[in-house]
Amino acid sequence: MAQLQINRCKVCTRPLPAGVNKCPKCGTEHQIVPEVVNPLRFSPKEAEEYKQILEQQTKANPADTNSLFGMGLVYLGLQHYELANKNFQKAVEQTPDNPDVYYYYALSLFAHRSPATLSALEAERIEMWLQTALKMQAKRKYLILEMLLLQGAFKGKGKAVPFGKPEPEELLRQALNTVQEEDELYEIEQHVVISDPRNRDFVAELRGERKTSGASGADSLRKRLAAYGQLCKYPKGDEDGSSTEEGVMRLMDPAERKDFFLGLHKPNRPHMESKESVFSPVWFAVKRGIICFIVWIVMCLIASVCWTDKREFAIRMSAEEYVEKNFPDLKRKRKAEKVEEVRCDSIENARLDSIFMAEHVVHAWEYRHSDSITVEGTGVLTAEKLAQLPADVEYMKMQGIMTGWRLWAFLFCCLAAPLYWVIAVILAFRNCFRSRRETAQRNRTTMNTYHEYERKYESRPTVEDYKRFCQLFVGPNAGLVTQGDVVSIALREAGISEQDVTKGKVYLFNCFFDCTSDGVETTNPEVVLRYMGINVAVAMPDQVLYMKAVWDTVEDTLPRFEQSSIMYSQIAMFQKTEDQIIIKSNTGVELVPITTNWGHLPSLFCYQSTESSDLLTYSRTRTTDRNEFYKSLVDMHGRYNKQ
């Protein structure tokens, strides 16, 4: 229990501040008795008396830890939680080695609320103070409060216990084997609302009472989920048939759900691409080399045949160049005419060719040294004339070469094939090494992808974990979705307050979307588990409101519901079939049917409990019993007609 050291007058029993030797009420001196009290048991009158005394002591000595702690306990007993928090926080700063201060600080942070209603930040803060107290001393009341927090704020919401923390059941076993303190459960129940059915069982067991049946809702959900046992194949065998809280909690992250489908089946080892052989460009070079050599031989033959008997062109050009260089005073026209006159039509052999060249040069030389510009050097070339030729004329007959496009054509015939072979071989080797590098990169990418999918397969949650998550997603108080359960979302979208639905019922049916009246279309988990059909119908005083949506289970948010509103004035009757509740109009036309069954499978989540203590599934307004909802529709329709 909470203990506080105080002084009391022995005569009138009035509490006295520390350091006072005379009672201000009865005047008795030196009749002071020290006493240990529990401020959480004070009556309102006693609490006010002690509060005044402790406030005086705190003002007189701000470092008085006992007074600060006592003030916190008094305010906690009065349920002034904010003031209690301030005093406990100051006491923690001054006495960091007192575990009781941490414990009562954590207890005040509950502020008479259920652990299930705490935000994640509040739960983590309380858990931090409790852990500090437990590390100093594992008292029974510390273990109990930690157990209630972990069960209500984590496991009761479908979440896993934080990493490194014990399970609530383990904390219960430790508490049962720890010395019991006076008023420990009383103190906790005064400031913590125990609403979780499992927590109520824990408290009953701590008191030695029989367990309640409050967990029937969760048990029924598990039984209902078992009805889907044949819905999916289990890629991992029996392992996929089990569910853990840790696996369900992981699936709260949409990225984990996407990875679940990516790693649902074990991937097959991929086939690696073969690299191009390094000998392929060598073989290419050999083949192209043979072809290019043959082409080169042919082109050289063609060049030799086409240009061997065309020496006059070379000679004529050489003569022109010579005249251009040595006779600049001649007019270009006369020079061209003179050169044209000495052309030869054919060349019989090399000797005549040399003579022909010499004649050209001699004629040009004679023309240069003649007295008249009209002299035509047509004389016969003799040995004397040859002897008279200057040295540069002899040199000229050995310098005749081809020029212009004929030269380029000759070079092309000789060099095209070798150049093509060299370039083709270089490109072949470059393409080969590039291809090998790209193939290696693709193989690395393929293997990395394979290992990634293999890792996802090995570490993913089980198929049962996924079905359990989908079941809790639509359930009330499941705590998996920040926006609330699907029925509340549907009513909010329709602008309806559930408090106004007093006579009628709110009907929920949800099932995996690939379930049909003829059974399950497929047993592939990636097809069955991906989408869930959700149907919400409301029997209102003047109309029937039907809302339906298909939830992609990898998304955290639901799509907007498709709404259909039918006034009772348009309705003639209701007809119940195996799969639907059919609404017929006054003209006999079937209006929007309300889906109540798929593939003879029950709604994945249901409101079946009749006990108000079962907070998970109990509701006076909501139902998943098609017969109950059908009866509600008929009653509401009858009430409307009577009006």
Write out the DSSP string of 207-257.
HTPPPPSTTHHHHHHHHHHHTTTTSS--TTGGGGG---HHHHHHTTSHHHH
Q: Please tell me the number of Cα atoms within 13 Å of 263 on its side-chain side.
A: 22
pLDDT in tens, 618-633: 777 888 888 888 888 9
Of the listed ranges 76-90, 482-496, 553-567, the one predicted with least confidence: 482-496
3 state SS of 551: strand
Nearest to 66 by CA among 127, 5, 132: 5
CB atoms within 10 A of CB 570: 15
Better pLDDT: 196 or 20: 196
Q: Which amino acid is at 238?
A: D
| pLDDT value of position 298 | 86
Q: Which domains does the chain have, with CATH numbers?
A: 4-218 (1.25.40.10), 273-459 (no CATH), 466-642 (no CATH)
Q: What is the rounded distance in angstroms from the CA atom of residue 333 to the CA atom of residue 328?
A: 12
Whether residue 335 is predicted with pLDDT greater than 50 in this model: the reply is no
Please give the average per-residue pLDDT across 582-589, as a whole number. Answer: 84
* Helix H or strand E segment including 576: strand 571-576
When pLDDT is cut at 50, 70 and 90, the band that residue 145 belongs to is: very high
- Strand 580-585 to 594-595 pairing: antiparallel
Q: Residue holding tokens 């005064």?
A: 190
When pLDDT is cut at 50, 70 and 90, the band that residue 481 belongs to is: very low
Q: Among positive and negative, which fits the CA dihedral 623, 625, 630, 635?
A: negative
- Greatest mean pLDDT range, 68-72, 280-284, 315-319: 280-284
pLDDT in tens, 421-440: 999 999 999 999 999 999 99
Please give the average per-residue pLDDT across 396-417, as a whole number. Answer: 62
Please give the average per-residue pLDDT across 544-553, as a whole number. Answer: 91
pLDDT in tens, 35-68: 566 677 666 666 777 777 777 777 767 667 777 7
Q: What is the rounded distance in angstroms from the CA atom of residue 266 to the CA atom of residue 525?
A: 13
Chain-wide mean pLDDT for the chain? 76
Whether residue 347 is predicted with pLDDT greater than 60 in this model: the reply is no
Of the listed ranges 156-165, 299-308, 327-336, 575-584, the one predicted with least confidence: 327-336
The pLDDT > 70 percentage for the chain reads 69
- Strand 519-520 to 531-539 pairing: unpaired
**Cβ(608)–Cβ(220) below 8 Å:** yes
| pLDDT value of position 447 | 93
3 state SS of 175: helix
Better pLDDT: 485 or 537: 537
| pLDDT value of position 538 | 93
| pLDDT value of position 276 | 87
Q: Which amino acid is at 6?
A: I
Q: What is the rounded distance in angstroms from the CA atom of residue 9 to the CA atom of residue 25?
A: 9
| pLDDT value of position 445 | 93
